[in-house]
Every structure is written in structure tokens, then in C-alpha cells.
């Protein structure tokens, strides 16, 4: 009952309270409630709602992922290693070339002198440096001293007949045989190129490594030579061709007894006729007198030592490196003065042949 009375009494007081006080009281109550809510949200005394500026500052940074940049490096150039320092240059003065011996001419190691080479078993031209002998038999070839070989004189233009084959066969395999002297100045009107070709071909097939050789006949004159219509490698298969324009003649003026220019004319004519320079064998004038008659109607004259030296020198300028060279003649044939009887010419050839 007491409680009930108190409630009734309290209720009467609020009712008796003026309206404006009720409004104030309500506002206070609402304010208190708002403050309580605020206290729950703002624990550090700052507003829980950030200002625009703060929002901007605290905004998470925008991460921009750029595509990886690809840098292409220029290829690296590998430099060559530096060259080693050059050695100091030493200047050496070369000694002057030796003076050519008297009679110097074409350079070859093989020297031939025709006719009268043997006295018994003694090879006579060997004393003057000739090492290619004029022989035509197996016994003469076998008698040659060490270092000498034979150029076998055949003198045939009948072709590769059975007789020819039998002759050549006797020399096959002999290390002392250098080659075969098929003909001396054959005449194309009576000795066909076809026959010489048959002979040369048979030798090449059966005794390879040996040479075939002829002396080419001048079909005109020494001062206007021609070998056209004669023999060359194309029509004869011969290996080597001797040219013999002997320049020392009785009909030449006394002031110029040897026409050295004829040697050059002969070489040019041979080349024009299809004979290569490498196939030319120079034949040196080393005889005189006797019953020989030259193409000018005069006689051949034995050169002096000085003239022989000039002959060799001229040939050296024309055919510098022949397979072999040829001196005509060691021995006599027609009562002429040969090389074997001229000590002065022998000295020239000894110097040339070395």
C-alpha cells in the first residue's frame, strides 16, 4: 500500500509541472542521450567521421603498375687484342749479286756437246762441264761416268717400225738415258710429222720420263727465218726443239762478224710456228771453217772467246731456262775447227757450265 501511495503522489508532481519545464527537461534528456552515444563512438576525443581533407590524406595510395621497360642493349663489340709491339726495324744492306762468270748465259744444269765424245771409254767433254753425252749404243752409255747421261742419237724418220721399236727397247729402263735425238734438221718434204709423232708417242708410252728431241730446220734464211710447215708439239708430239742460227759468218762485215740479232729472229719464228719457249733448246755456235757452206753461200767462222760470251749472253736473254743447252760441236765433222781444239772457247764453256 505504501508503494502504491508513493506512485500516486509522484505522478501528481509531474502532472503539476509546467509545460515549458517539461520541454526543457526533455531537451536535456535528449542531450544527455546524445552525449552518451558520442562518448561510445569518439574514444580519443576526435570525430569518428574524418573530414574531407583527412579522408584525402588517409586514402590508400593508388599503385600504378607500369609495364616492365625492356631495354635492348646494343651488341657488345669484342675488340681484337692489341697487336704486340713491332720489333724494331733492322736495316740490312744486302751484298751485291755476284758477277756472272765469263760466258754466262741460259741457266740449266744439263749441257750437251755433239760429236766425238768418247775416246775409248773416256768421256772427253766432261772436263769442260758437259754432262749430256752424244751416244748411240748401250755400251757407250754404260761407259759414261757418274753424273753423265746419254742423249741417244737415233736418226730415224720411218715411224715406229719394228726396227725402231727394237732399238729403243734396248735403252728402256736405263737410268743413264736422258732421251732420244730422233733427227737432225729433218726436211718436212721428206720426213713427215706423222712419222715423227709415231716415234715420239711410242717412246712416251714405253719409256716415260725420257725426252724426244730434234734440231728444227730453218726453211728460209738466218736473217729471215721461218719454221712454218715444220714441226711443233701439236703435229709431232716431240718434247724439245733445237734452234741453230749460227751467227758468225764469213759474209758478215769484218766490223761485225757475228750477227747476234739472228738468234732473236729464230726464237720469234719458232714461237710463231707453235713451238713454246719452254721447249726451245739453244744451240751455240762453236765451230768454223771446213767444207761447210752456210745459207748465204759463205762459211761458218769459229767465234773468239769474246764472241762466244756474247752468243751465250744473247741466248740467255732469249731462252733463260732451257731444259738443256747444246754446243756445236765438240768434235769435227767436215774438216772444221771444233770446240775440242779451242782452249779459249773451252774456258768460256767451263765457266758457263759451272
pLDDT at 4: 39
pLDDT at 177: 98
Nearest to 286, CA basis, from 122, 128, 118, 119: 128
Nearest to 240, CA basis, from 174, 165, 181: 181
Which CA distances in Å does 175 have to 17, 149, 165, 281?
166, 8, 19, 22
SS3 state at 350: helix
Which residues are registered as beta bridge partners of 123?
A: 118
Nearest to 337, CA basis, from 300, 296, 310: 300
Residue pair 101/309 in contact (Cβ under 8 Å)? The answer is no
pLDDT at 29: 64
pLDDT at 140: 98
pLDDT at 78: 42
Q: Reply yes or no: is the peptide bond before residue 117 cis, omega within 30 of 0.
A: no
pLDDT at 161: 98
In this structure, the chain runs to a length of 354
Name every residue whose Cβ is closer than 8 Å to that of residue 17 and which is 6 or more positions away in sequence: 25
pLDDT at 75: 44
Name every residue whose Cβ is closer than 8 Å to that of residue 123 and which is 6 or more positions away in sequence: 117, 133, 143, 144, 145, 148
Divide the 354 residues of the chain into consecutive groups of 10 and give the mean pLDDT of each group: 41 52 63 51 40 36 43 43 40 42 79 98 97 98 97 98 98 98 98 98 98 98 97 98 98 97 98 98 98 94 98 98 98 97 98 96
Residue pair 263/245 in contact (Cβ under 8 Å)? The answer is yes
Which pTM value belongs to this model?
0.72
Helix, strand and coil content of the chain, in percent to the nearest 5, comes to: 35, 15, 50
**Domains of the chain with bracketed CATH:** 111-353 (3.20.20.80)
Distance CA 197, CA 32 (A): 148
Q: Grid coordinates representing 317? A: 736473254
Distance CA 293, CA 296 (A): 8
Amino acid at each position: 500500500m505504501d508503494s502504491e501511495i508513493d506512485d500516486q503522489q509522484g505522478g501528481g508532481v509531474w502532472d503539476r509541472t509546467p509545460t515549458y519545464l517539461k520541454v526543457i527537461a526533455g531537451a536535456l534528456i535528449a542531450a544527455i542521450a546524445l552525449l552518451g552515444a558520442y562518448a561510445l563512438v569518439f574514444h580519443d576525443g576526435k570525430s569518428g567521421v574524418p573530414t574531407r581533407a583527412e579522408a584525402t590524406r588517409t586514402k590508400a595510395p593508388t599503385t600504378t603498375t607500369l609495364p616492365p621497360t625492356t631495354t635492348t642493349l646494343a651488341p657488345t663489340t669484342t675488340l681484337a687484342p692489341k697487336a704486340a709491339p713491332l720489333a724494331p726495324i733492322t736495316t740490312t744492306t744486302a751484298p751485291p749479286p755476284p758477277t756472272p762468270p765469263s760466258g754466262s748465259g741460259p741457266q740449266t744444269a744439263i749441257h750437251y756437246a755433239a760429236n766425238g765424245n768418247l775416246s775409248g771409254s773416256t768421256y772427253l767433254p766432261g772436263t769442260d762441264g758437259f754432262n749430256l753425252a752424244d751416244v748411240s749404243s748401250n755400251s757407250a752409255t754404260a761407259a759414261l761416268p757418274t753424273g753423265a747421261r746419254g742423249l741417244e742419237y737415233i736418226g730415224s724418220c720411218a715411224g715406229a717400225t719394228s726396227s725402231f721399236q727394237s732399238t729403243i727397247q734396248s735403252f728402256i729402263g736405263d737410268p743413264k738415258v736422258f732421251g732420244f735425238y730422233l733427227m737432225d734438221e729433218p726436211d718436212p718434204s721428206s720426213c713427215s710429222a706423222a712419222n715423227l709423232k709415231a716415234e715420239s708417242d711410242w717412246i712416251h708410252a714405253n719409256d716415260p720420263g725420257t725426252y724426244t728431241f730434234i734440231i728444227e730446220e730453218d726453211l728460209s734464211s738466218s736473217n729471215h727465218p721461218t719454221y712454218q710447215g715444220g714441226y711443233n708439239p701439236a703435229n709431232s708430239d716431240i718434247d724439245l726443239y733445237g734452234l741453230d742460227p749460227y751467227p758468225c759468218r764469213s759474209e758478215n762485215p769484218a766490223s761485225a762478224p757475228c750477227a747476234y740479232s739472228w738468234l732473236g729472229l729464230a726464237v720469234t719464228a719458232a714461237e710463231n710456228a707453235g713451238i713454246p719457249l719452254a721447249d726451245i733448246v739453244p744451240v751455240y755456235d762453236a765451230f768454223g771453217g771446213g767444207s761447210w757452206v752456210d745459207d748465204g753461200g759463205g762459211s761458218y767462222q769459229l767465234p773468239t772467246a769474246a764472241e762466244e760470251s756474247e752468243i751465250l749472253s744473247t741466248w740467255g736473254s732469249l731462252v733463260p731456262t732451257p731444259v738443256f743447252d747444246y754446243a756445236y760441236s765438240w768434235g769435227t765433222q767436215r774438216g772444221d775447227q771444233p770446240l775440242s781444239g779451242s782452249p779459249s772457247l773451252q774456258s768460256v764453256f767451263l765457266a758457263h757450265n759451272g
